[in-house]
């Protein structure tokens, strides 16, 4: 996908006191894209979004929307609108006046204003709620009012600051689907800030992973999961088993890695990254790529001790301790008994194995 | 068992405390209905003539009217001055805010007589004629800490993102203040107006030094005390002021609390 730079962030930094909250971030977001900024709290994702909305001024760098430099513009002069984490529904106004708050500037006729508010209420399925107050609404309803109040302004970019964080799990999942569907229908560019990786992966066209003020990786959800570019990204997105090694042989389509604890590991280079003999690398394997059996497999097998088994319905989550490796291997095994001996007891010896293309090879940090 | 004993002890303490606090004050209305020139037991009989006398006194009317005008002006001025300060000190977490709050509160701790004399010296030096205007200036000065305290308590817990949302929806800072901030803190503004009005209304010391010939009610009462036969009338006036003040304070407190529960935007948990 060719990325056009509808929303363009170039070399943006922001310092708060002694800490660099956002460290030289450059990012291009396409028109109509659902883009998520993902990272743990304090990683700078909210600060970056506030700089797009005009609530914070970057110390350096440029923010441009649809070809226009907006870096120095205040929020009320930008073609952006925001859904706040607290929703920020005005408590002294009813729902209709909340939604119509920004329309005053447009100098509409009373009838046109009413029409737009009614259409907006219909969009969020809250017809007839116009005269109510915010405190008469549930969390999910308030969230939709905040969304409608921002969307009625027809922004070029909609900013959403952890908008689903305060909702319970079931409602959150329903709202994820609703939001995604709404975004597709309206075609508005969404910038969605979240610390919830499932949310980011399931909703977004692309995800930017942030940590300590830096934008680590920008990719499609599938690519982010299957080809993380660094240990930080790999461990933040999903569960990952890691061990270190050194490249022993490097060919065009195969790598042999020597590790202290496991003899030789056969792997395939993934992505565009090239490794040379002698490079120190990190082998990363997803739990579902590992299989467990009572006999060694032909390739990439290591013996360990079964430490714990958790039943998860369609899967078993196994913890297997391999001598010399600090963290136990986490294995997700199907519950149909394939691979795992039904009678396997804790502390019994098992073999963990994975195919050559099952591991992700990362440069050791 | 122990808990119950503690409860009784506390109850006795509370009753003693309230008696000590209010019984002397209650003598005022009591003697204001007593049919005698002398404030002494035994009570002679019930009368409302002191109240009638009070309402007929021309000089009292003028003093009362003066007090009202000073009270309104001082309440408006001090609340208007304290409002942006309270917002800056709470919402915007202004640097050095605590030092500023300390300075703003100094009039509360300076003895009123010192405040009165220093204001008198200042007014004389500045050649401001002593009048209701000089009283209003003095009252505004020491009403500000009260206004600031009431307004700051109203601004606590004000969600800053409400103002940001208004800016985000295209409004200027000025219109955001009038469309969002002011309506939300309005009960605090009303409470501040009532309280500062009352503080000004009740003040004797500053008014005594600054009023010149335009006496306010407390200064008028002080003057009346020289004439023994006017004492019952003063008691009637005092009782009326006492009741009026109580009603106003209760109303101010009720207004200040209006809407601080339940209508907040963040009545659900979030970090």
Residues A166 and A186 in one domain: yes
Residue range A171-193, pLDDT digits in tens:
888 889 989 999 999 999 999 99
Position A176 in a domain: yes
Residue from A256, A247, A319 nearest A281 by CA: A247
Does the CB of A85 have a partner CB in chain B at under 8 Å?
A: yes
Residues A124 and A222 in one domain: yes
Give the minimum alpha-carbon distance from B157 to chain A in angstroms, rounded to a whole number. 13
Does the CB of A75 have a partner CB in chain B at under 8 Å?
A: yes
Q: B172 and A80: CB-CB below 8 Å?
A: no
Q: Where are the domains of chain B?
A: 33-257
Q: A153 and B169: CB-CB below 8 Å?
A: yes
Position A1 in a domain: no
The alpha carbon dihedral of B240, B241, B246, B250 has a sign of positive
Residues A230 and A255 in one domain: no
Residues A204 and A265 in one domain: no
CB contacts < 8 A (A, B): 86
Domain endpoint, select from A235, A253, A284: A235
Does the CB of A16 have a partner CB in chain B at under 8 Å?
A: no
Q: B259 and A91: CB-CB below 8 Å?
A: yes
Residues A169 and A311 in one domain: no
> Domain range for residue A343?
243-363
Give the minimum alpha-carbon distance from A88 to chain B in angstroms, rounded to a whole number. 5
- Looking at chain B, which residue has its C-alpha nearest residue A102? B169
Contact between A362 and A228 under an 8 Å Cβ cutoff? The reply is: yes
Q: What is the bridge-based pairing of β-strands A329-334 and A301-311?
A: unpaired
Q: B162 and A150: CB-CB below 8 Å?
A: no
Residue range A261-272, pLDDT digits in tens:
777 888 887 765
CATH number at residue A266: 2.40.50.100
Which residues on chain B are in Cβ contact (under 8 Å) with A102? 169-171
- Looking at chain A, which residue has its C-alpha nearest residue B162? A88
Q: B165 and A88: CB-CB below 8 Å?
A: yes
Residues A98 and A144 in one domain: yes
Domain endpoint, select from A200, A235, A270: A235
Does the CB of A94 have a partner CB in chain B at under 8 Å?
A: no
Q: Is the pLDDT of residue A70 over 60?
A: yes
ipTM (interface predicted TM): 0.82
Residue B22, CA distances (Å) to A70, B25, B31, B199 in order:
65, 5, 15, 19
- Looking at chain A, which residue has its C-alpha nearest residue B183? A92
The alpha carbon dihedral of B172, B174, B175, B180 has a sign of positive
Residues A251 and A230 in one domain: no
CATH number at residue A88: 3.40.50.300
Q: A104 and B265: CB-CB below 8 Å?
A: no
Q: A41 and B162: CB-CB below 8 Å?
A: no
pLDDT value for B263: 36
- In A33-72, the residues whose Cβ lies within 8 Å of chain B are 41, 53-55
Residues A265 and A217 in one domain: no
pLDDT > 90 in chain B, percent: 30
Q: What are phi and psi of A122, to 5 degrees?
A: -65, -40
Residue range B94-123, pLDDT digits in tens:
777 788 888 888 888 888 889 889 989 988
Residue range B124-146, pLDDT digits in tens:
898 888 888 888 998 998 899 99
SS3 content of chain B, % helix, strand, coil (to 5): 75, 0, 25
Bridge partner list, A9: A27, A63
Residues A186 and A296 in one domain: no
Residue range B19-35, pLDDT digits in tens:
998 888 888 888 778 77
Single pTM value for the model: 0.80
Neighbours of A81 (CB within 10 A): 27
Residue range A80-119, pLDDT digits in tens:
999 999 999 999 999 999 999 999 988 889 999 999 999 9
Q: Which of A91, A104, A153 sits opposite B184 (nearest CB)?
A: A91
Residues A184 and A263 in one domain: no
* A145 vs A264: which has the higher pLDDT: A145
Residues A85 and A203 in one domain: yes
DSSP assignments along A1-27, one per residue: -----SEEEEEEEEEETTEEEEEEEEE
Give the Cα-Cα-Cα angle A285, A288, A294 (nearest 5 degrees): 95
Q: A82 and B170: CB-CB below 8 Å?
A: no
* A124 vs B230: which has the higher pLDDT: A124
Contact between B233 and B53 under an 8 Å Cβ cutoff? The reply is: yes
- From 3.40.50.300, 1.10.3720.10, 1.20.58.2030, 3.40.190.10, which CATH number describes the B33-257 domain? 1.10.3720.10
Overall number of domains in chain A: 2
Domain endpoint, select from A235, A268, A294: A235
Residues A165 and A250 in one domain: no
Give the minimum alpha-carbon distance from B169 to chain A in angstroms, rounded to a whole number. 5
């Amino acid at each position: 996908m060719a990325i056009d730079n509808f929303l363009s962030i170039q070399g943006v930094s922001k310092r708060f006191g002694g800490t660099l909250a956002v460290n030289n971030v450059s990012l291009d977001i396409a028109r109509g894209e659902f883009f998520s900024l993902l990272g743990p709290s304090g990683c700078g994702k909210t600060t970056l979004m506030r700089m797009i909305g005009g609530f914070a001024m970057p110390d350096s760098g440029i923010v441009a929307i649809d070809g226009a430099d907006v870096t120095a513009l205040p929020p009320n002069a930008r073609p952006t609108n925001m859904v706040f984490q607290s929703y920020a529904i005005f408590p002294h106004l009813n729902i209709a006046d909340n939604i119509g708050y920004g329309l005053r500037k447009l100098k509409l006729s009373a009838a046109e204003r009413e029409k737009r508010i009614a259409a907006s209420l219909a969009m969020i399925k809250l017809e007839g709620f116009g005269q109510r107050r915010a405190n008469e609404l549930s969390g999910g309803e308030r969230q939709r009012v905040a969304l409608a109040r921002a969307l009625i302004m027809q922004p070029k970019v909609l900013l959403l600051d952890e908008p689903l964080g305060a909702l319970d799990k079931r409602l959150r999942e329903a709202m994820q689907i609703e939001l995604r569907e709404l975004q597709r229908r309206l075609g508005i560019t969404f910038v969605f800030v979240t610390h919830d990786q499932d949310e980011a992966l399931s909703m977004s066209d692309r995800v930017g992973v942030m940590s300590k003020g830096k934008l680590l990786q920008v990719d499609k959800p599938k690519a982010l999961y299957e080809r993380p570019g660094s240990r930080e990204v790999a461990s933040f997105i999903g569960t990952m088993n890691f061990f270190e090694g050194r490249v022993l042989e490097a060919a065009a389509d195969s790598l042999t890695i020597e590790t202290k604890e496991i003899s030789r590991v056969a792997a395939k280079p993934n992505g565009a990254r090239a490794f040379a003999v002698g490079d120190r690398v990190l082998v990363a394997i997803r739990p579902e790529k590992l299989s467990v059996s009572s006999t060694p497999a032909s390739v990439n097998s290591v013996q360990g001790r079964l430490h714990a088994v958790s039943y998860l319905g369609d899967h078993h989550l196994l913890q297997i301790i391999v001598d010399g490796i600090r963290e136990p291997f986490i294995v997700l095994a199907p519950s149909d008994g394939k691979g795992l001996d039904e009678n396997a007891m804790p502390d019994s010896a098992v073999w963990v194995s994975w195919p050559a293309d099952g591991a992700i090879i990362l440069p050791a940090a | 068992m122990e808990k119950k004993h503690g409860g009784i002890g506390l109850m006795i303490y509370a009753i003693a405390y309230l008696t000590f606090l209010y019984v002397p004050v209650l003598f005022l209305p009591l003697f204001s209905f007593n049919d005698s020139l002398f404030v002494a037991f035994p009570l002679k009989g019930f009368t409302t003539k002191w109240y009638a006398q009070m309402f007929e006194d021309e000089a009292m009317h003028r003093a009362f009217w003066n007090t009202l005008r000073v009270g309104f002006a001082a309440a408006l001025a001090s609340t208007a001055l304290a409002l942006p300060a309270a917002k800056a000190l709470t919402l915007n977490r202004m640097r050095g805010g605590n030092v500023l709050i300390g300075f703003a509160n100094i009039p509360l701790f300076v003895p009123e007589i010192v405040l009165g004399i220093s204001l008198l010296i200042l007014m004389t030096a500045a050649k401001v004629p002593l009048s209701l205007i000089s009283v209003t200036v003095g009252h505004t000065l020491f009403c500000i800490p009260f206004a600031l305290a009431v307004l700051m308590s109203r601004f606590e817990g004000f969600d800053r993102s409400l103002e940001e949302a208004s800016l985000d929806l295209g409004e200027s800072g000025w219109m955001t203040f009038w469309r969002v901030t002011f309506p939300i803190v309005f009960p605090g503004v009303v409470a501040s107006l009532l309280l500062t009005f009352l503080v000004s209304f009740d003040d004797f010391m500053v008014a005594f030094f600054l009023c010149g010939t335009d006496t306010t009610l407390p200064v008028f009462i002080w003057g009346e005390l020289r004439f023994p036969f006017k004492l019952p009338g003063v008691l009637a006036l005092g009782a009326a002021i006492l009741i009026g003040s109580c009603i106003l304070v209760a109303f101010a407190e009720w207004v200040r609390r209006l809407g601080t529960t339940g209508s907040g935007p963040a009545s659900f948990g979030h970090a």
